[in-house]
Amino acid sequence: MKFIAYDTRDDERNDFEELSKKLNIEIILVSEGLNINNIDLAKGCDGVTILGHSKVDSVILDKLKQLNINYLSTRTVGYNHIDIDYAKSLGIRVSNSYYAPNGVADYTVMLILMCIRHYKQAMFRGNVNDYSLKGLQGKEMKDLTIGVIGTGKIGATVIDNLKGFGSRMLAYDKYQNEKVKEKATYVDLDTLYKESDVITLHTPLVDSTYHMIDTEALSKMKDNVVLINCARGELMHIPDLITGVETRKIGALGLDVFENEEGIYHLDRRTDIISNRDMAYLRQFPNVIMTQHMAFYTDAAVTSMVCSSVTSLVDFVEKGESENEIII
């Protein structure tokens, strides 16, 4: 069997090489994302694996089909960068990857603590030898009500992590998790908005959750609410967030994702002009923490995503199915 891996990062190469030897398969490694200019490198391959920088639209999918490639795997959990419906119409099978929820869940707790203890301001003050305390008084976790929207694997693990702090835990999900009920109280979304001091998002991006955090949602929340997003940037309507920060409706933001982050996050853009004005403006607030979509980024997660991606392609070829196939 022969596969090609586009978007290959340096930290993935060792995992690919070990898998190639272990499974006795050939894997071509390409640093660039999959595009119309390099797609012919996939000629003769049984399947293709990509990352989120590769935009797999109808043009790319048509070309893959012409190359007789019927299996595509993304080394990500999300798959918004792939036209799944069109792939299905062509008979191209697509799978996504899996990694343990611990990395994102741990990162979520870190962002919450950084927000409620004003760590961004404290860090910047220390860099200029300002060791004053004014404006840095924080809150204790045991005194907070924390609302978790989305109680899948990551959301449930966040609740596990936070329960040890003694916080009151609220949860919202269309599909309730019996184990979560042991540590959190399920409520409707409006109640979660009304009673939570901190709200963290762990829900998938679908039509019903697109821009779910907007002016209407914010109006139902406490003043000085802390919002955390390690899920998808498109869950939040950025202009409404900016207004929320400016009017102090939002006390702090911890964002690991951002709408229209593609072409910016995971790239070195130090000498470039960044055209995302919302990102540039929101970042400058002292109570807004923004990181480059790295909550998932641990050694264990990288290995897991590479392994699950390649294993899916092997399963497609050998068994005609993959447990990670995207079914819509």
207/129 same-domain check: yes
Instruction: Identify whether 232 is a catalytic site residue.
Output: yes
Of the two residues 78 and 303, the one the predictor is more confident about is: 303
Q: Is residue 327 part of a domain?
A: no
Instruction: Identify whether 293 is a catalytic site residue.
Output: yes
164/52 same-domain check: no
DSSP annotation of 273: P
pLDDT band at 288 (very low <50, low <70, confident <90, very high): very high
Average pLDDT over residues 194-207: 96
Instruction: Identify whether 261 is a catalytic site residue.
Output: yes
pLDDT of res. 58: 98
244: left (phi over 0), alpha (psi -120 to 50) or beta: alpha
256/305 same-domain check: no
Rounded Cα distance, 15 and 280, in Å: 35
Enclosing domain of residue 265: 102-290
Rounded Cα distance, 91 and 213, in Å: 36
Q: Which of 75, 125, 237, 293 is catalytic?
A: 293
Q: Which of 232, 234, 237, 259 is catalytic?
A: 232
165: Cβ contacts below 8 Å, ≥ 6 apart: 141, 142
240/155 same-domain check: yes
Q: Is residue 136 part of a domain?
A: yes
- Of 153, 195, 151, 193, nearest in space to 174 by CA: 151
Q: How many domains does the chain have?
A: 2
45/162 same-domain check: no
274: Cβ contacts below 8 Å, ≥ 6 apart: 264, 280
Question: Following DSSP, what letter does each residue of 16-61 receive, concatenated?
Answer: HHHHHHHHT-EEEE-SSPP-TTTGGGGTT-SEEEE-TTS-B-HHHH
121/23 same-domain check: no
- Of 148, 54, 57, 168, nearest in space to 105 by CA: 148
200/310 same-domain check: no
Q: Is residue 325 part of a domain?
A: no
pLDDT of res. 263: 86
* Beta-ladder partners of 199: 147, 227
135/68 same-domain check: no
CATH number of the domain within which 259 lies: 3.40.50.720
290: Cβ contacts below 8 Å, ≥ 6 apart: 253, 255, 256, 258, 279, 282, 283
Percent of the chain predicted with pLDDT > 70 = 100
Q: Is residue 324 part of a domain?
A: no
30/71 same-domain check: yes
275: Cβ contacts below 8 Å, ≥ 6 apart: none
Token pair 């999959």 in the structure block, residue: 34
256/234 same-domain check: yes
pLDDT band at 16 (very low <50, low <70, confident <90, very high): very high
Q: Is residue 326 part of a domain?
A: no
139/93 same-domain check: no
Average pLDDT over residues 295-308: 96
Percent of the chain predicted with pLDDT > 90 = 94
pLDDT of res. 266: 86
Q: Is residue 216 part of a domain?
A: yes
Q: Is residue 119 part of a domain?
A: yes
The SS3 call for residue 257 is coil
121/68 same-domain check: no
